[in-house]
Amino acid sequence: MSAADELTAQAYQAHRENRTADALKHYSEAAGIYREQNNPLRLAHTIRHVGDIYQQTKQSQLAGPFYAEALEIYRRHPETSPLDLANTLRGYALQQEATGNAAQAKLFWQEAGELYAAVNVQAGVSESERRIAFLTNA
pLDDT tens figures, 95-117:
999 999 999 999 999 999 999 99
Question: Torsion angle of alpha carbons 118, 54, 70, 40, nearest 10°?
Answer: -110
Question: Torsion angle of alpha carbons 124, 80, 57, 112, nearest 10°?
Answer: -30
Percentage of residues of the chain with pLDDT beyond 70: 100
pLDDT of residue 1: 78
pLDDT of residue 80: 98
**Could you tell me which of 4, 23, 26, 5 has the C-alpha nearest to residue 14?**
23
Report the alpha-carbon distance of residue 24 to residue 51 in Å, rounded: 10
Whether the per-residue pLDDT at 12 is higher than 80: the answer is yes
Whether the per-residue pLDDT at 6 is higher than 90: the answer is yes
Mean pLDDT of the chain: 97
Domains, the chain, ordered by start: 3-137 (1.25.40.10)
Span 125-136, average pLDDT: 97
pLDDT tens figures, 55-80:
999 999 999 999 999 999 999 999 99
Span 83-92, average pLDDT: 98
| Cβ contact 73:43 at 8 Å | yes
Whether the per-residue pLDDT at 138 is higher than 80: the answer is no
pLDDT of residue 63: 97
